[in-house]
Amino acid sequence: MDRERLAAERRNFNFQKVIAIVGAVLMLGKFLAYFITGSVAILTDAMESIVNVAAGVIGLYALYLTMKPADSSHPYGHGKVELISSSIEGSLISLAGAMIIFEAVNRIVNPSEIRSLDIGIVIVAVAAAVNFAMGMTAVRMGRATKSVALEASGRHLCSDTYSSVGIILGLAVVYAGDLLGYDLGLFDPLMAMLFGAIIIITGVRVLFNSMNGIMDRADIEVLREVTRCINHERDPNVIDVHHLRVVRYGSSLHVEAHMTVPGRLTVDEVEKIVDRFSSAIRDELGGDVDITFMAESCDNMFCRYCQDEVCDHRADGFVDIKYLGLDTVIKNDTHYFKAVRDRNERSSGRGKDGGN
């Protein structure tokens, strides 16, 4: 499994290198188109390409760090750096959108002549096609390998494509109007403003998703899959499962949970249950998954959920099986803390009776 993960990270790293190199070439092409045409829309597209190159280099370094194995200073690996990288990239995307709007407003206030639009349209169209192809590939690879940095790079390239399409449409209208004898130069900065706003929205979304990852926001879909595995694999010796937590570090997942079992079970019996749970969860999630189950003795807390007929320490009779529910996980195991309170109340009641 580690070999597959390292191979996937290596592919991501190599593709990010391609993104950075091609991004630099396209940036030069767009600046060439600006000097030929004098179009502010093309200038803003070229300015955004500067951000693309900077973000590509940042993403490349993040993926390089991600490939480094866990060490004494980073026992969970270096995967979190992808979230830092994507948050920087989201900020740069938003900054590029703001720069585009600023330049567009400036061109409305201070209009200038636009020339040789046919050449500029062709250059921007070629750059847009290349960006879109690389962006979609990066998003697909990032989702497949759970690489936040590569997916953010892909979304950045796609946002650049969207702005380029808008610029092409605006320039096409201006060019058509020029051929027909109409001055439609105002379309140039107006289209730049529109797609500058779209780019800002894209950047904010990337930044928002990155912040959720940095703050370890619960991944509901992964929690649902883990919960389904636990409920499917449990047997009468598993009385309750609680304190389920799933944390992502780059492409790696760390699953932790507490499991209540009858006190009579041996260590070997508990290990067999843990191994069965762990195998099922790894098969379901795939990729690099680190799983830890902590076994706890019942201690009379879950007698109503316990099917052990030979237990000598029952406080209540068996009522029903307590399956792990997603709502229970999200609400931070309210049933577990209720069981603790009930046990404490029983203990307190027995103490009072003994005192009397």
CB 160 within 8 A of CB 203: no
Same domain, 227 and 168: no
pLDDT of the residue at 125: 92
By C-alpha distance, which of 313, 231, 336 is closest to 277?
231
What's residue 130's pLDDT? 92
* In a shared domain, residues 146 and 206: yes
Residues 228 and 349 in one domain: yes
First to last CA, the chain: 62
User: Do 203 and 237 belong together in one domain?
Assistant: no
* Domain end residue (candidates: 180, 214, 248): 214
Q: How far apart are CA 241 and CA 336, in angstroms?
A: 9
Residues 206 and 260 in one domain: no
Closest among 35, 21, 15, 155 to 93, alpha carbons compared: 155
Of the residues 214, 238, 269, which one is the last residue of a structural domain? 214
- What is the tally of structural domains in the chain? 2
Q: Which of 214, 240, 272 is the last residue of a domain?
A: 214
pLDDT (tens place) for every residue of the chain, 356 residues total = 456 767 777 888 888 888 888 888 988 998 998 888 888 778 777 877 887 788 778 877 877 777 777 777 777 777 778 778 778 878 887 888 888 888 888 888 887 777 888 888 899 999 999 989 999 999 898 888 777 778 877 887 887 787 788 778 878 888 888 888 887 778 778 877 887 888 788 888 888 888 887 777 777 888 888 888 888 888 888 888 888 888 877 667 888 888 888 877 888 988 998 898 888 888 888 767 888 888 888 776 777 777 777 776 676 777 777 777 777 666 665 556 666 666 666 566 555 555 44
- Same domain? For 79 and 95 the reply is yes
For 280, the domain range is 220-355
Give the predicted TM-score (pTM) of the model. 0.65
C-alpha span between 6 and 66 (Å, rounded)? 9
Q: Which of 242, 239, 241, 243 is nearest to 265 (CA)?
A: 239
pLDDT of residue 356: 47
User: Could you tell me if 47 and 153 lie in one domain?
Assistant: yes
